[in-house]
Amino acid sequence: MTRHLPALIIVIPLLSALVTSGSGWFNQKAPFRIAVSALLLSLLCAVLMLIQVVTTGIAMEYRMAGWAGPMGIVYVIDHLSAIVLVVITSVSCLNLVAQRKNIHAEFKDKQGAFNALYVLFTAGLIGMTATGDAFNLYVLLEIVSLSGYALIGLGNTRAPLATLNYLFLGTIGATFYLLGVGYLYIATGTLNMAELTTMIPKLMDSGVILFAFIICVTGLFVKMALFPVHGWLPDAYSQATPAAAGLIAPLTTKVTVYILIRICMTVFTPEYTFDHLDISGFIVLVAVVTIVFGSLSALAQKNVKKMLTYIIIAEVGYMVGGFFLGNRLGISGAILHIINDAAMTLALFLAAGIFIWKTGGESRSDLKGLFAKMPFTMAGFVLAALSVVGVPPTCGFFSKWYLISGGVQAGNYLFVAALIFSSLVNAVLFFRLFEIAYFEPFGEDEDHAHGHGNSHGSHHHVGALAIKEAPLDMLVPFLAACMALIVLGLYSGTIITNIIQFAIPTGVI
């Protein structure tokens, strides 16, 4: 049974998406139940595969329909893909459980369609992470993109325009990646990643391979919203419904960074990426600009969700810069930050969803008085914010420590300065929100004004005096996500030692 886990983790959500879509016609509660069940089963598969890979030290390989590569599609679960699969399935499942009330309120008769898209999006991310075929990766990337466009398009009145911008740039990114894959096939005659790994070292001086690398990486930069091709992300994520944003924001950019790491280390090899090509310094510089731009842009926002989207852009710079430092400390920090940032972003967007549900607004001023009205929610929000700032023992501190250590080892003090600057800006951002939520109680006029004009949650707003804690089915998953930040922090050394170190080739120092 265990040998079929790499197939089951993808097949279960794919089939459940079909069933979920139709079940809403017969029972309004069925789509949610089917989606949660499918995601729980996928999470179980991911955990079992991680345990097996860590225990045996051997990657799992599964040939779809029994066809071996390069003719058939092969799924490979190694240390790196196994931990990312656990992240994807746990974030997706936890967010769906936490957003049940939001989904019911926002979609009513469209719950079947929303849950089907939600599960399909997750299935695409799972497939992207597990596949060992470069073209199959493109197919799954398009599944994720199309379902993501639909999820974001279901948002407020400005969501369709934001989705259109996302569609244009997303299509460009996917086309670049596909073009790069085409050139790889021209040069090697295969799309199997394992075979490409053995063939590319013999073709390092090939102009076709160089062009394929540049085109593939450029497409992925667009997909992960690295500056200056970031323009689609702030509006897309901020205009999405809380349920969609809670899924897409924590996972999309992180999985794309994972794909970048996978392509550079497994397909093109570290020798080609870091030694043969002389581009690491330039890409780290772009990452530094991304960090500074994202942090300063977040500082200028009054809308809480939009502020969080610019923090995501800065975090992309953390991971890309850390990876292209080219040393073991930097790459370890980049991979660890994929895990940690997914957890931090989930916690922050769950908090934003609760704020919208309870106050009906998204601006900073809508947080007034919430420390007194919602102490448990605000305590979780403070914990998530401190993790983003990088305060120990939260997980954000440890991945930043590895990234800074990698920068020092590489002698790239500009990257180190950018990380410290971003952390200081994040501290200013969140302590400003704490000040508003603690020292500025609602006034009657403001309370009346905030009860109108927001399509996400105004129908839930019942006055400042009536604001209480979030419902338990929202609060418990949110606090679980917040506690995960401490757990990940305390076990960062274990994750590095038992998982991440095995994901980095031995030749990387």
- Other C-beta atoms closer than 10 Å to the C-beta of 164 total 15
Q: In the chain, what are the domain boundaries?
A: 278-509
pLDDT of 451 reads 41
Please report where in the chains the tokens 């021209």 appear, as a residue. 186
pLDDT of 446 reads 42
User: How far is the C-alpha of 269 from the C-alpha of 279, rounded, in Å?
Assistant: 15
User: How far is the C-alpha of 501 from the C-alpha of 101, rounded, in Å?
Assistant: 41
pLDDT of 404 reads 96
Question: Read out DSSP for 442-454?
Answer: --HHHHHHHTSS-
Length of the chain: 509
User: How far is the C-alpha of 130 from the C-alpha of 78, rounded, in Å?
Assistant: 9
Per-residue model confidence as pLDDT tens digits over 116-162: 999 999 999 999 999 989 999 999 999 999 999 999 988 777 888 88
Torsion of CA 135, 209, 335, 116, to 10 degrees: -20
- Nearest by Cα to 343 from 470, 140, 143, 490: 490
Report the sign of the C-alpha dihedral through residues 213, 215, 220, 222, in that order.
Answer: positive
Spatial neighbors of 198 by CB under 8 A, at least 6 apart, are: none
Query: pTM value?
Result: 0.91
**Under a CB-based contact definition with an 8 Å cutoff, are residues 236 and 152 in contact?**
yes
Locate 360 and state its tokens.
């009906």
- Other C-beta atoms closer than 10 Å to the C-beta of 48 total 16
Alpha-carbon distances, residue 328 vs 316, 333, 411, 469 (angstroms): 19, 8, 14, 44
- Nearest by Cα to 358 from 471, 217, 452, 277: 471
pLDDT of 68 reads 67
Locate 140 and state its tokens.
């799954």
User: How far is the C-alpha of 303 from the C-alpha of 295, rounded, in Å?
Assistant: 15
Which residue ranges of the chain lie beneath pLDDT 70? 1, 65-71, 440-467
Q: Give the three-state DSSP class for 154.
A: coil
H or E stretch at 76 = strand 74-77
Per-residue model confidence as pLDDT tens digits over 211-228: 999 999 999 999 999 999
- Phi, psi of 61, deg, nearest 5: -125, 135
Locate 126 and state its tokens.
């799972």
Spatial neighbors of 507 by CB under 8 A, at least 6 apart, are: 270, 271
Question: Read out DSSP for 147-198?
Answer: HHHHHHHTSSTTHHHHHHHHHHHHHHHHHHHHHHHHHHHHHHS--BHHHHHH
Amino acid residing at 311: I
Alpha-carbon distances, residue 90 vs 7, 41, 102, 204 (angstroms): 18, 11, 19, 39
pLDDT of 65 reads 65
- Nearest by Cα to 233 from 138, 319, 158, 165: 165
pLDDT of 29 reads 80
